[in-house]
Each structure stands twice: as C-alpha cells, then as structure tokens.
C-alpha cells in the first residue's frame, strides 16, 4: 500500500514506471479500482464524501480528472463509454 501526492498535474516524487494499484492512496483517497485503455490508465478513488472520482494517467501525468460519481459502477460505465 503506497501513499501518493499530486500537484493536480502529476504525481510528485514518483518514478515514471510507478503505477498506483488497489488500496494505494492518492491525495488522501483510496484507490478502489483501476483500468487501462490504450496508453491511458484510469484510477478510481473513493472520495471523503463517499462519492467516486477518476484520475486518468499517462505515465505519472494526470491527463484527466472527473469527480462526483454516485458510485463505482457509474464511474466505470462513464469510462467504458468514453465519457472520461
């Protein structure tokens, strides 16, 4: 279990080949699921208010972020439908 911090654009003090995994923490939120689409890597996080957000990474760089999903199922549907 790793604990990562971002500056909103990339993970800080992380090697390029590091990929957040289940139960890691990013910005104080627990990783509850991950998925890959091409070069992009989606990390789904449990927010403090129990909604779900998604960070999309290209290496250590955050290329997208969407928050406020009601649950993980809704977030995964949006990811698979190309809405994220």
Q: What would the pLDDT profile of 17-37 be if each residue is shown by its tens digit?
A: 788 999 999 999 999 999 998
Measured CA to CA in angstroms, residue 8 lies from 18, 35, 74, 77, 80 at distances of 17, 20, 23, 24, 23
Q: DSSP states of 30-66 as a string?
A: EEEEEEEETTEEEEEEE-TTS-EEEEEEETTEEEEEE
23-75 confidence digits (pLDDT tens): 999 999 999 999 998 888 999 999 989 999 999 998 878 999 999 999 999 99
Strand pairing of 52-58 and 29-37?
unpaired
Retrieve residue 52's tokens: 């779900």
Give me the residue spans of the domains in the chain.
3-80
* Residue 17 pLDDT: 78
Dihedral sign from CA coordinates of 12, 9, 1, 19: negative
């Amino acid at each position: 279990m790793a604990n990562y911090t971002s500056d909103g654009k990339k993970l800080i003090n992380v090697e390029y080949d590091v990929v957040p995994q289940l139960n890691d923490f990013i910005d104080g939120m627990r990783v509850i699921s991950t998925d890959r689409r091409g070069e992009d890597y989606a990390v789904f996080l449990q927010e403090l208010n129990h909604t779900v957000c998604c960070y999309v990474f290209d290496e250590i760089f955050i290329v997208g972020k969407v928050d406020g999903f009601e649950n993980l199922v809704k977030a995964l549907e949006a990811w698979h439908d190309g809405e994220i």
